[in-house]
Structure formats: C-alpha cells, structure tokens
Structure 1
Amino acid sequence: MGKLEGKVAFITGAARGQGRSHAVRLAQEGADVIAVDHLQDMATVGDPQATQADLDETVRMVEALDRRIIASRADVRDTAAMRAAVDDGVAQLGRLDIVLANAGIASFAPVEELTDEMWDEMIGVNLTGVFKTVRAAVPHIRAAGRGGAIVLTSSTAGIKGLANLAHYVAAKHGVVGMMKTLANELAPDMIRVNSVHPTSVDTDMIHNPETYGLFRPDKPKTEVTREEAAESFRTMNALPVEWVEPVDISNAILFLVSDDARYITGVQLPVDAGSVGK
C-alpha cells in the first residue's frame, strides 16, 4: 500500500514539468488527482506554455498507474474556474486531502524595464493564483474533518533576492507569507501548510532562449547553447550540479503531504543543491 492510498490531490500547473511530476509521483503512492493547467501562452512570458497535448500526457501517465485523474483547463487567476475545477473533481472522486499550488510563470527584466503588464501578470499567476487555489480547496478539506496537507511552490527566490527578477522574487516571498499565515489559520483543523523552494529545475521553464539569454548577454539569446547555460546554472548551486530534476521536488512534496510529516507545518523546505546558503 502506498503512502497516499485512497487520498485525492489537487494540483495546478499539472500539464508538464514539476506539476506533471507531482501528479505521477503522488499517483505512484496511491493518490487520485484533480489536475488543472492554463494551456495558453502568456502575454509577458517569452517561452511557450503547456498545451492540451501536454495535459493529455499527464492524464495518460497517471491512468497508467491505475489511478483516477480529473483534468481540466483553468486559469489560476479565475476564481470561478478554480472553484468549478475543485468542485467537479471532488464530486467525481469523492474527497480532497492534498493541495499543491504549483502553477507559475517566469519572465526577466531589470526593475526599470519591468512593465506594468509584466508585474501584474507575474503577481496574478504566482501569488494571487496561489491564494485562489487554496481558497477554492480549503472548504472541501475542512468539511471532511480529516485534516489535510497543502504545499505551496515558492523558490529559492522566496528566500533570497535574484537580479532581473524583482516581480518574481516579490511573488515568491509573498507565497511564504501566505504559507505561514495559512499554517496558523488552518492548524485547528489539522490542515498542514508548508512551502518548497527549488533551485533551477530541469523543465521547460529554464530550458528556453529567454532564460539562456540571461547568462550570455554577449550573444543573441537564440544562439546560447544548453551547455553554455548549464555552466552558468552550475555556479548558482553549492553542489556541483546544473539543476535538479522535477522528481526531486516531487519527493520532497511527497514527504510533506504524507504521514511521515504529520506534525510538520509552517516550514520552508529548500530543494536547492545548497544555493540558498552559498
């Protein structure tokens, strides 16, 4: 029997990357999944976002583990869409125990070049979207009276500052404040709330010309190679690695939402190859 047998997890940004990894890893431990993703490119984000085909692949992978998954398109900034996704998922799967507020975007500019649109979209997805995810889900967990676990995906940028990312850093620090408040607010119902803080993760969010171009401003961003970017990413970490794998974050989250961490709440867990302390 898996560590999450019979439980249901609500995961945002589940079509690819970390979100897909979380869905599969929790399914391996027995959880059914309610999955959402925006499935639309963002005006201020340079790299392509997840597609319906990506979400379909997440569904296939979870179902291949003989687990159930209810997947839909929803924007985390849309209150009605988030409530509908959770309500429908709970109606079909019968319960809700775990929430992973994972959806997020990245864009880059020095502060004087950040536009209102870049700021608003970043805060909307990476902070307000986390709030709306949790707000839609908490009534279902609380009503069941069984307790539960919520993990908010922050970043090393939720612990320290990073150049050219003022809007991202502000959002990820905001997630930490939200986590600490929710941990206190929901504790009487035995609902635990924690945050994870990844360093660079081997996903499409970092493997694109927009991100690569940050590290080699002397070259056109479309000409920067993965190997050149890897060397730059490596300098950010204390351990001699360029990035961590999505499953490394998933394993940390699995610990936090399982009974192994039944008395852990209100903590920031870095999965960062030592980058925060460097």
Structure 2
Amino acid sequence: MVDITPTHPDYFIPNRFEGKTLLVTGAATGIGAATAIRAAREGANVVGLDRKAKELNETISQIKSEGHQAIAIVGNVVETAVCDRAVADAVRVYGGLDLALNAAGVMDGGDPAQPLNFNGQRNLLPNSIHEATDEYWEAVVATNTTGVFKSMRAELRQIVQQGRGGAIVNIGSIAGLTGLAGNPAYVASKHGVTGLTRNAALDYAPFGIRINSVNMAATDTPMVARAGEFVQAMKASGQGGSMGGLKTQSILAAADSQHRASTVWEQAAIILFLLSPDAANLTGCTYATDGGWTSY
C-alpha cells in the first residue's frame, strides 16, 4: 500500500496573486484560514471575515507576522450589513476587490464559537426531517445558503463596478452533490450553494467573472470534528438513523494506511488554482474535491 503525501502546509507559489485583493468568509479556521494564509504568501491582500473573533484575529495576526497584508472583519454572513461592510473595507484599505472565497458554513444551528451542547441545545442540532426543528433548519440555511447569497451579492456588485473581471469560489460539500443521512438542512443548504454557483456563472461570464465551487468529503477541520462529536453523542444516546454509517470513507481515505481525511492545505491548493489565471477557462463547475467519494 502506497500512501499519497498531502500538500505541505508551507508550500506556495510566489507572487501568483501579487496586487490582488481576496475576501475570505469563514477565515478564522479550517479551509478558509488555510486559503487566506497561503494566498497572502502568494502576494494577495487578504480581507478575512468570520464571527469567531478570537480565531479570526489569530489567523490575521499570523499572516501579518509573516510580513503580508491582511485585515479582520468580525461579523456574521447572515447579516447583509456585515457582507457589505467587508467589501467596503476591502475597497477602503486596498482599493478594490478581485477575488473571493465564500467558506463560511455550519453543520448545525449552534454557535460554532462555542462547544457543542448536545443536551442543552438539541433543538439546534441535526435530525431526520420528521424530528427536525424550525430553529435548526433556519439557522443552517441562513449561514450556508443565504449567507453565500449575501456574500456573493456584495462581492459581485463591487467586481462588476470595477470592470476588470475576477473570480469567486464557493465552498459546497459532497452534501451539495448527493445525499447525506441525518442532516437535511445541511444537504439542502449545500445544494443551494451548487445552484447559486451555476446561476452566477451564467450571469457574470459577460463581466469576466468566473464562479466555481469545491465540494469536499471529510476534511480535517473544526467543523468536521464537531460533527464527529455529534455523531458519537447520538450513538451514546441510542438515537440516529440506521443509514448514517452506510458510507463513511472516500476512495483515498479507504486506501490510505491511516484512513486519513483530506487536509485543509489540499483543499486550499485547489481553491487557489480556481482563483488563479491558470483556471481561465473554468466556470460554473462544481468540483468534487472529495478524494473520490462521489465516484462510487
């Protein structure tokens, strides 16, 4: 058995985004943070937006400590004013906006800045449709679909007005390409991201703006770790649907000696390729960056 070596966290392509400004929602941790850090190393001015203030400031501080340009915007993408302010600050500080990664997302309705509260906030946690609550549904869809819509709306207004084109990547999920047991709001919301990506690619091609999505399976992020806590809590309580364990690994995870998940740096590498000039002929695509999950 030969394991595939993941992208090294220190690898980057010098000057690839020199003079460009990139807005990253969900920049505090996980894929958003990794993409922001590597983009800054590649020359981008980074505007990071997230509701997790502590973690966001740590990510932006790391970028600055390496000698690169970055600012932090603390706020929630469910709020129109926050999305508009992030773009306005990009223009105010760096003179415009060229690129965006919409990475803000949740798998449950709880506050991602707080530990999972299985017993105290059960109404905000995933469940099969007949047992799911309005609060869970509305919170997940508000961030994952409406938040992407509001973020894209603010970004596209500015990029269109500038008249020099640009690129946007939205983070979807395998749950936006297929079904995933036990979390209907997440699945529906990520299918919404797929629809928004395809619609926007059509509308904004005449403006020289490319729009794609990446759709990963299990990736080593705080959100996935939180989901793992939830699954274990469900098992311990004797709850959960019988189909949740039907498929648990991608092709590459199953073939790996450690059955490892994707890394955030592997995802960042594909995202930055799609934002780069090397992807000039790519738009409207929903890339399965999932280790082969949707291939079988």
TM-score band, normalised by shorter chain? 0.7 to 0.9
Unaligned runs of 5+ in 2: 1-13, 109-125, 239-244
- From 228, 234, 253, the equivalent of 1:211 is 228
- What residue in structure 1 maps to residue 95 of structure 2? 94
- What residue in structure 2 maps to residue 48 of structure 1? none
Which whole-Å CA distance do the structure 1 matches of 2:230 and 2:237 have between them? 7
Distance 1:115 1:220, change over 3 A: closer
Residue 36 (structure 1) aligned with residue 49 (structure 2): yes
Q: Percent identity?
A: 37
SS of the equivalent of 2:46 reads: strand
- Normalising by the residue count of structure 2, what TM-score does the alignment of the two structures yield? 0.82
For residue 214 of structure 1, report the CA deviation from its aligned partner.
2.0
- Normalising by the residue count of structure 1, what TM-score does the alignment of the two structures yield? 0.87
* RMSD, matched Cα: 1.8
- What residue in structure 1 maps to residue 267 of structure 2? 249
Given that residues 103 and 170 in structure 2 are in contact (C-alpha distance below 8 angstroms), is that contact kept between their aligned partners in structure 1? yes
SS of the equivalent of 1:35 reads: strand
Distance 1:254 1:218, change over 3 A: closer
Which whole-Å CA distance do the structure 2 matches of 1:257 and 1:214 have between them? 34
SS of the equivalent of 1:67 reads: coil
Which whole-Å CA distance do the structure 2 matches of 1:122 and 1:217 have between them? 19
Given that residues 234 and 243 in structure 1 are in contact (C-alpha distance below 8 angstroms), is that contact kept between their aligned partners in structure 2? no
Which whole-Å CA distance do the structure 1 matches of 2:133 and 2:237 have between them? 22
SS of the equivalent of 1:118 reads: helix
Map 1:104-253; keep pairs closer than 5 Å: 104-107=105-108, 108-208=126-226, 210-214=227-231, 217-219=234-236, 235-239=248-252, 240=254, 241-253=259-271
- What residue in structure 2 maps to residue 17 of structure 1? 30
Which whole-Å CA distance do the structure 1 matches of 2:79 and 2:225 have between them? 28
For residue 53 of structure 1, report the CA deviation from its aligned partner.
2.1
Given that residues 21 and 90 in structure 2 are in contact (C-alpha distance below 8 angstroms), is that contact kept between their aligned partners in structure 1? no
Given that residues 200 and 233 in structure 1 are in contact (C-alpha distance below 8 angstroms), is that contact kept between their aligned partners in structure 2? no
Which whole-Å CA distance do the structure 1 matches of 2:130 and 2:237 have between them? 22
AA aligned to 1:12 is T
SS of the equivalent of 2:49 reads: strand
Which whole-Å CA distance do the structure 2 matches of 1:56 and 1:160 have between them? 35
Unaligned runs of 5+ in 1: 40-51, 222-231
Which whole-Å CA distance do the structure 2 matches of 1:171 and 1:179 have between them? 13
For residue 216 of structure 1, report the CA deviation from its aligned partner.
7.6
AA aligned to 2:209 is I
